[in-house]
Amino acid sequence: MKYLVIIPTYNEAMNIEKLIEKVLKQSNDIDVLVVDDNSPDGTANIVEKIMEKNKRVNLLKREKKSGLGRAYVTGFKWALQKGVYDYIFEMDADFSHDPDELYLFFQAITEGYDVVCGSRYIEGLRVLNWDLKRLFLSLGGNIYARIITGVKLTDLTGGYNCYSKKVLSTINLDKISSNGYSFQIEMKAKSYYKGFKIKEVPITFRDRYEGTTKMSGGIINEALFKCFKIRFEKWFGKY
Ligand SMILES: Nc1nc2c(ncn2[C@@H]2O[C@H](COP(=O)(O)OP(=O)(O)OP(=O)(O)O)[C@@H](O)[C@H]2O)c(=O)[nH]1
Ligand SMILES: [Mg+2]
């Protein structure tokens, strides 16, 4: 089994080296792909230096900041083109997603699941260092997304996930239109509507220690609207 961990980056120079090291340590079968949007802080230069010494690390450089969703779609297509990766992971660069929890995903893969989603909201509530406003926004957003899309998962907006090669080649990636949190909702909903086996595993989410947030009101508005679009597309069979 071969795994690819895709890490989208925008100004993650303070995190990326340590994170890559920690991810690669988890298994010899893991490669890493960083998708960087020309970060002004030189994140890509750091990755290029690591690549000189380590063939398991790859980099896609895009010209300008174009959002997390587009970065992942580019990474997914790269993985499918390579053809060697059985499971493709999504992970934030800021240590909010703990590489030490990758084993939870590996266990679910062994059980035969096509999609494994890290959830902050099963078996308790595991979000560290968030203020109450952020927590309620996330919890409320998840309830809203679950009602509108009809997808019975506890953490639709979470970004620590893994898709099999089969899932990514079945979903029409060119039709994924979301970019922010709704990108995660759209990917999970499309996998769910297509009947793939999805398992949620309990992860612990930590707010970033280093670097700055890219969260914005625009991302929230996109998610509010996109949930309806995702559901309508399902009704009209266009997913
Ligand atoms: N390539 C690329 N990566 C991005 C873009 N926006 C965010 N990212 C990366 O996507 C991941 C998630 O973004 P974050 O800024 O951590 O978003 P968040 O987790 O909602 O917010 P904070 O943790 O509060 O900062 C991080 O690895 C970012 O560097 C983008 O436009 N392009
Ligand atoms: Mg983050």
Q: How many angstroms is it from 38 CA to the middle of ligand 1?
A: 13
Instruction: Look up the pTM and report it.
Output: 0.95
> Residue 180's pLDDT is what?
82
Q: Which of 92, 90, 93, 86 is nearest to 75 (CA)?
A: 90
Q: Which residues contact 76 (CB under 8 A, 6 or more apart)?
A: 6, 88, 163, 168, 173
> Residue 215's pLDDT is what?
67
Domain of residue 67: give its range: 3-235
> Residue 220's pLDDT is what?
80
DSSP for residue 238: -
> Residue 181's pLDDT is what?
82
Q: End-to-end alpha-carbon separation of the chain, Å? A: 29
Pocket of ligand 1 (CB under 6 A): 8-10, 12, 35-37, 65-68, 71, 92-94, 96, 208, 213-215
- Residue nearest to ligand 1 atom 21, measured at CA: 213
- The tokens for 17 are 């080296």
Q: How many angstroms is it from 236 CA to the middle of ligand 2?
A: 34
Q: How many angstroms is it from 113 CA to the middle of ligand 1?
A: 27
> Residue 221's pLDDT is what?
82
The type of residue at 202 is P
Mutational pocket test of ligand 1: of 32, 68, 160, 183, the residue with most ligand atoms within 8 Å of the beta carbon: 68
> Residue 222's pLDDT is what?
85
Q: Which of 34, 38, 101 is nearest to 72 (CA)?
A: 34
CATH number of domain containing 91: 3.90.550.10
Q: Count the residues in the chain.
A: 239
Q: Which ligand is nearest to the CA of 214?
A: 1
Q: Which ligand is nearest to the CA of 14?
A: 1
Q: How many domains does the chain have?
A: 1
> Residue 94's pLDDT is what?
95
Q: How many angstroms is it from 80 CA to the middle of ligand 2?
A: 26
Tell me the HSE value of 30 on the side-chain side, using a 13 A CA sphere. 21
Mean per-residue pLDDT pooled into runs of 10, the chain (239 residues): 98 97 98 98 98 97 95 98 98 97 98 98 92 90 96 97 98 92 95 98 92 73 89 87
> Residue 227's pLDDT is what?
93
